[in-house]
Amino acid sequence: MHDTNLLQLITDDFAPAQHLLELLQTESLALHGRDMPLLEEILAQKQALIILLDQHGRKRSEILASLNLPTNRNGLEQLASHSSIGDQLLEQSDVLTDLLAQCQATNVKNGQSILVQQAATANQLKILNGGEPPALYDARGSTSMLAKPRPLSQA
């Protein structure tokens, strides 16, 4: 009975996990295009899917814990070893794990893209606001005060 419940929870997570992966891939394109309205829409959808996947994950852990099994892969393997659908249970679990790993990898790439864009924006703002003074030297070898930085609007 517990094994069929676990299998059902695992298979129920395929559609939300696949949808999450598609959203993350769309998010990558939206990040490169800086499409803010689309990014806001994706964020709302991602949050709902993550909450759903988290709830199902907790239910799976609760089932394993109620059987006094570890709430990880080892516990699932122990349950599968005593189940008639054990092979199917492990196989479907592996498929879900791979799908979630793809989601995580895509999310990491999107995070890196955000960091690169933040650095570029910070650099552009620094240029527009006058930035750091140039390191120019006079004939004596000391820093010249002649070239004072000015914002782009005053140049």
Tell me the DSSP string of 54-88: HHHHHHHHHHHHHTT--SSHHHHHHHHHT-TTHHH
Task: Collapse the DSSP code of 151 into the 3-class scheme (helix H, G, I; strand E, B; otherwise coil) and give the result.
Answer: coil
Most confident segment among 69-78, 119-128, 139-148: 69-78
CATH of the domain at 131: 1.20.58.300
More confident residue, 137 or 101: 101
- Mean pLDDT calculated for residue range 4-31: 94
Mean pLDDT of the chain: 87
In this prediction, residue 121 carries a pLDDT of 87
Instruction: Determine contact, residues 20/46, Cβ cutoff 8 Å.
Output: yes
pTM: 0.76
In this prediction, residue 43 carries a pLDDT of 92
Q: What is the tally of structural domains in the chain?
A: 1
| In the predicted structure, residue 154 carries a pLDDT above the cut 70 | no
Q: Which residues span the domain enclosing 111?
A: 2-154
- Mean pLDDT calculated for residue range 6-26: 94
